[in-house]
């Protein structure tokens, strides 16, 4: 924690909340000050001066939430959703699109979605030239079945021209997505990722190829997304223990991402993994046109689900802020250090009787939910959306949040 010299004014002070900043080792009731869109100070009893003061006692003050697996090429790809809608609902500041666009249509994504959004949108570029083009309710056409659709040179060239927003390469592997090409699609995607020096995010679906075969090919820093998918083709072997290939991949630095989605979070896998001490590195929603209707809903709901599985609040916040920022090599994001962008998510943890559900219909009674209170992007307060699918399950009047002017 650090404070500038006395007498320096701030634009805004968030006062008295529980600040959780994994990167800087902060977990305590302190104030956060913002000036000129940056974090100016973090500490106890910061002098208000003529600053605007927001009383956030009883709330959680976290770095801006980052959903590292979304689909937000809205209106141009059939699977994508409105980025502003999900950002408002989850109190997010940063969304990372996971391969909705490929080299053939990325420019439209950049010009008509990324550059026009009030939120920060980054992207993993799909190795498939047209991106994910055939995904909707009742429609699933694999984009990585033909080698001719996976031109490494075009992918590399598009990334080199757009490194301001592209953070890696994406490939979907498994069953009908890759067909007979199978692991060949992964080899091609790895070639592209290696050429640009960026991580590869790999979707794991139904076999073939197997979960073990896929994860064995990934490099340190690559991301295996949908890590706790249910059977068939889960991270568990026939003995219902974590696969040796999975343990070896973590040992060499492969990252494991929840990416709940419509088919990729199973309680059987999750509970066994956590029992063995195998926690995810990253929490993301894989929000898209189907998952937005449940049981994933969005990032905040997925965070609540993992919290009710036994992860601690600091872990859940870190897996949704600091760790995704580092995974995509954007160290300026995901923390509240002095000089960092003033991206802040203010949340409250409330008592709840919500009955959570995984993608195969298994249910678990929850005891708590995370709810949005406020969100700041570069110091600017953004709008918060309602969560009607959760609100009826909140027990009693909870939380405290009042904006007050400084004296």
Report which DSSP code applies to 294: S
Residue 128 reports pLDDT greater than 50: yes
How high is the pLDDT of residue 137? 82
Report which DSSP code applies to 30: E
Q: For the chain, where do the domains classified as CATH 2.30.40.10 start and end?
A: 12-62+338-405
Flag the least confident range among 77-91, 138-152, 305-319, 391-405: 391-405
Which of 58, 46, 93, 25 shows the shortest CA–CA distance to 343?
93
Mean pLDDT within 347-356: 97
Mean pLDDT of the chain: 95
Question: Which tens digits make up the pLDDT trace of 14-39?
Answer: 999 999 999 999 999 999 999 999 99
- Rounded Cα–Cα distance for residues 315 and 234 (Å): 23
- Rounded Cα–Cα distance for residues 72 and 81 (Å): 5
Residue 403 reports pLDDT greater than 80: no
How high is the pLDDT of residue 399? 42
Residues contacting residue 231 through CB under 8 Å, at least 6 positions apart:
266, 268, 269
Domain 64-327 has CATH 3.20.20.140: yes
Mean pLDDT within 351-355: 97
How high is the pLDDT of residue 405? 37
Is residue 14 within 8 A of residue 357, CB to CB? The reply is no
Mean pLDDT within 387-404: 73
Question: Which tens digits make up the pLDDT trace of 202-246?
Answer: 999 999 999 999 999 999 999 999 999 999 999 999 999 999 999
3-state DSSP assignment of residue 159: helix
Residue 5 reports pLDDT greater than 50: no
% of the chain exceeding 70 in pLDDT:
95
Mean pLDDT within 351-371: 98
Calculate the alpha carbon distances from 345 to 90, 191, 258, 271, 375 in Å.
9, 37, 20, 28, 5
Q: How confident is the model at residue 397 (pLDDT cuts 50, 70, 90)?
A: low
Mean pLDDT within 326-351: 98
Mean pLDDT within 312-327: 98
- Rounded Cα–Cα distance for residues 65 and 40 (Å): 19
Q: Transcribe 33-80 into DSSP letters.
A: EEETTEEEEEETT---TT-EEEE-TTSEEEEPEEEEEE---TTTSTT-
How high is the pLDDT of residue 8? 64
Flag the least confident range among 7-11, 45-49, 74-78: 7-11
How high is the pLDDT of residue 1? 58
Residue 121 reports pLDDT greater than 90: yes
Residue 352 has φ and ψ, to the nearest 5°, of -150, 155
Residue 404 reports pLDDT greater than 80: no
% of the chain exceeding 90 in pLDDT:
92
How high is the pLDDT of residue 249? 98
How high is the pLDDT of residue 2? 52
Residue 398 reports pLDDT greater than 90: no
Torsion angle (degrees, nearest 10) of CA 22, 25, 31, 35: -70
Residue 317, CA atoms < 13 Å, CB-side half-sphere: 28
How high is the pLDDT of residue 30? 98
How high is the pLDDT of residue 138? 83
Q: For the chain, where do the domains classified as CATH 3.20.20.140 start and end?
A: 64-327
How high is the pLDDT of residue 407? 30
CATH placement of domain 12-62+338-405: 2.30.40.10
How high is the pLDDT of residue 402? 42
How high is the pLDDT of residue 99? 98
Residue 322 reports pLDDT greater than 70: yes
């Amino acid at each position: 924690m650090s404070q500038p010299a006395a007498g320096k004014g701030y634009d805004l002070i968030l006062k008295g909340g529980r600040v959780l900043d994994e990167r800087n080792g902060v977990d305590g009731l302190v104030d956060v000050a913002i000036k000129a869109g940056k974090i100016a100070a973090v500490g106890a009893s910061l002098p208000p001066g003529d600053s605007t003061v927001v009383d956030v006692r009883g709330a959680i003050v976290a770095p801006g939430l980052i959903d590292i697996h979304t689909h937000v090429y809205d209106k141009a790809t059939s699977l994508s959703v409105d980025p502003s809608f999900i950002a408002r609902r989850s109190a997010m500041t940063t969304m990372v699109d996971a391969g909705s666009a490929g080299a053939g249509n990325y420019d439209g994504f950049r010009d008509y979605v990324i550059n026009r959004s009030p939120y920060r949108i980054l992207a993993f570029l799909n190795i498939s030239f047209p991106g994910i083009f055939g995904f909707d309710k009742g429609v699933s056409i694999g984009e990585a079945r033909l080698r001719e659709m996976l031109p490494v040179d075009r992918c590399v060239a598009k990334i080199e021209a757009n490194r301001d927003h592209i953070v890696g390469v994406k490939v979907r592997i498994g069953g009908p997505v890759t067909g007979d090409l199978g692991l060949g699609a992964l080899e091609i995607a790895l070639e592209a990722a290696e050429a640009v020096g960026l991580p590869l995010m790999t979707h794991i679906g139904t076999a073939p190829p197997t979960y073990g075969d896929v994860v064995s090919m990934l490099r340190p820093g690559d991301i295996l997304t949908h890590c706790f998918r249910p059977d068939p083709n889960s991270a568990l072997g026939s003995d219902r223990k974590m696969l040796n290939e999975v343990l070896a991949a973590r040992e060499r630095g492969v990252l494991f991402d929840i990416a709940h989605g419509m088919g990729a979070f199973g309680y059987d896998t999750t509970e066994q993994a956590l029992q063995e001490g195998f926690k995810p590195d990253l929490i993301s929603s894989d929000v898209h046109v189907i998952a937005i209707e449940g049981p994933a809903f969005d990032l905040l709901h997925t965070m609540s689900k993992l919290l009710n599985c036994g992860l601690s609040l600091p872990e859940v916040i870190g897996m949704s802020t600091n760790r995704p920022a580092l995974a995509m090599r954007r160290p300026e994001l995901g923390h509240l250090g002095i000089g960092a962008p003033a991206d802040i998510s203010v949340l409250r943890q409330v008592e709840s009787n919500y009955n959570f559900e995984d993608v195969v219909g298994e249910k678990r009674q929850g005891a708590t939910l995370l709810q949005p209170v406020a969100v700041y992007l570069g110091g600017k307060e953004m709008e918060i959306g309602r969560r009607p699918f959760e609100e009826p399950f909140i027990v009693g009047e909870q939380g405290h949040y009042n904006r007050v002017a400084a004296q």
